């Protein structure tokens, strides 16, 4: 079991209550003769310890397991839904997202600008597309890559999602010094993630 967050608080409450009540019983034994009302008082303390311990134990076992990487409770249903959505997005990208243009040139500042256009051939509207441009050697193996987050207004008051059969342009600027010298002046690009636009 993974005792984290709230579970630790209940565990501390259970241990603390036991220690305090036990100390109270020891002090009573030392200071007062064993009279009937003192015995009753000690029984009440014992009962309190049992009740709080039972409550704390229940809360500990009912506290959700924590994902160490995200510090969020793991919900198996949510995790399954996320996996299904990811699989749907990957399938949509493979079938319906295409590059209609991909080229590069040097700008007036000596930097390399990769420009391109992606087209949405599917029936959903795309508000975000994550791209990766690869710089290739003579054997078309990747030497260097540059990622780009194409946000078409996810949080904007004037969003411009890629509607079915529409296109969107992108521009990526790269420092030539970042690219290995064995670059064969070849590039390729992929879309590896998208976000659907959910509003009308």
My answer on whether 162 and 96 are in the same domain is yes
My answer on whether 57 and 105 are in the same domain is no
Is residue 85 situated within a structural domain? Answer: no
My answer on whether 117 and 147 are in the same domain is yes
Is residue 80 situated within a structural domain? Answer: no
Query: Residue 53 contacts by C-beta under 8 Å, 6 or more apart in sequence?
Result: 14, 17, 18
Domain residue limits at 150: 91-196
My answer on whether 95 and 192 are in the same domain is yes
3-state DSSP call for residue 87?
helix
3-state DSSP call for residue 35?
coil
Rounded distance, CA 178 to CA 63, Å?
48
Q: How many domains in the chain? A: 2
My answer on whether 115 and 161 are in the same domain is yes
My answer on whether 97 and 38 are in the same domain is no
Q: What's the pLDDT score for residue 154?
A: 86
Give the tens place of pLDDT for each residue, 27-67. 666 655 555 566 666 676 677 767 777 666 666 555 454 44
Angle, CA of 73, 6 and 21, to the nearest 5°:
160
Rounded distance, CA 15 to CA 54, Å?
12
Residue at which a domain ends, from 22, 43, 73: 73
Beta bridge partners of 128: 151, 195
What is the CATH number for 157? 2.60.40
Q: What's the pLDDT score for residue 70?
A: 42
- Asked whether the CA dihedral 117, 123, 126, 130 is positive or negative, the reply is negative
My answer on whether 101 and 168 are in the same domain is yes
Q: Which region holds residue 154: left if phi is over 0, alpha if psi is between -120 and 50, else beta?
A: alpha
Give the tens place of pLDDT for each residue, 106-118. 999 999 999 999 9
Is residue 82 situated within a structural domain? Answer: no
Is residue 19 situated within a structural domain? Answer: yes
Residue at which a domain ends, from 15, 45, 73: 73
Q: 0.85 cut: is pTM over it?
A: no
Is residue 78 situated within a structural domain? Answer: no
Q: What's the pLDDT score for residue 80?
A: 72
My answer on whether 102 and 188 are in the same domain is yes
My answer on whether 100 and 164 are in the same domain is yes
Angle, CA of 119, 121 and 125, to the nearest 5°:
80
Is residue 135 situated within a structural domain? Answer: yes
C-beta atoms surrounding 125 within 10 Å: 20
**Cα distance from N-terminal residue to C-terminal residue, the chain:** 45
My answer on whether 176 and 142 are in the same domain is yes
Rounded distance, CA 23 to CA 19, Å?
6
Give the tens place of pLDDT for each residue, 143-168. 999 999 999 998 888 899 999 999 99
Residue at which a domain ends, from 73, 103, 119: 73
């Amino acid at each position: 079991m993974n005792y984290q967050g709230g579970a630790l608080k209940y565990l501390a409450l259970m241990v603390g209550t036991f220690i305090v009540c036990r100390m109270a019983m020891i002090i009573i034994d030392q200071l007062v003769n064993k009279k009937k009302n003192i015995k009753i008082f000690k029984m009440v303390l014992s009962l309190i310890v049992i009740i709080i311990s039972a409550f704390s134990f229940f809360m500990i076992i009912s506290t959700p397991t924590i994902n160490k990487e995200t510090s969020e409770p793991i919900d198996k249903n949510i995790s399954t839904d996320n996996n299904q959505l990811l699989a749907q997005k990957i399938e949509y990208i493979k079938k319906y997202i295409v590059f209609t243009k991909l080229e590069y040139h040097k700008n007036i500042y000596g930097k390399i600008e990769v420009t391109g256009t992606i087209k949405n051939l599917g029936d959903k509207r795309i508000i975000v597309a994550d791209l990766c441009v690869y710089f290739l050697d003579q054997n078309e193996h990747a030497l260097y890559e540059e990622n780009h987050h194409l946000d078409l207004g996810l949080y904007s008051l004037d969003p411009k999602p890629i509607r079915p059969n529409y296109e969107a342009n992108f521009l990526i600027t790269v420092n030539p010094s970042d690219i290995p010298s064995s670059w064969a002046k070849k590039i390729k690009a992929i879309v590896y993630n998208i976000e659907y636009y959910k509003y009308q």
